[in-house]
Amino acid sequence: MGILDFLKRKPEPTATVAKERLRIIVAQERSTRGAPDYLPMMRNELLEVIKKYVHVDIEAININVERDSGHEVLELSVALPDGKPAATPAT
């Protein structure tokens, strides 16, 4: 091992990366648990529509099903890429 290796910043431990990834995916799966089966499909189709206007990745789309007193609310959030104004609709 050369002296340069000592000077380089230590990479993030993989366990920390694992924990963060699990935190997100577990939360997402819990929120859609027991939700309608069409949800993943709907998410994909929504992505196609949104992509016509803004460049976003599927990771930017979050679907939640909230249940409160008798009714269900489908919550959709799209994290828009920052700094960029929305593209003009493709025709």
Partner 1 sequence: MTAEIIVVTSGKGGVGKTTTSASLATGLAIAGKKVAVIDFDVGLRNLDLIMGCERRVVYDFVNVVHGEATLKQALIKDKRHENLYVLAASQTRDKDALTQEGVEKVLDGMSEDGFDYVVCDSPAGIEKGAHLAMYFADHAVVVVNPEVSSVRDSDRILGLLASKTRRAERGDGAIKQHLLLTRYNPARVANGDMLSVKDVEEILGIDVVGVIPESEQVLAASNSGVPVILDAESPAGQAYSDTVARILGEERPLRFTDVAKKGFFQRVFGG
Binding site for partner 1 (CB under 8 A): 13-16, 18-19, 21-23, 25-26, 29-30, 33-34
User: Hey, what are 62's tokens?
Assistant: 């979050």
Give the nearest distance from C-beta 32 to partner 1 in angstroms: 11
- DSSP letters, 14-80, are HHHHHHHHHHHHHHHHHHTTTS-TTHHHHHHHHHHHHHTTS---GGGEEEEEEEETTEEEEEEEE-P
Of 14 and 69, which has the nearer Cβ to partner 1?
14
Give the nearest distance from C-beta 81 to partner 1 in angstroms: 28
Of 34 and 83, which has the nearer Cβ to partner 1?
34
List beta partners, residue 71: 68
Of 22 and 79, which has the nearer Cβ to partner 1?
22
Give the nearest distance from C-beta 66 to partner 1 in angstroms: 17
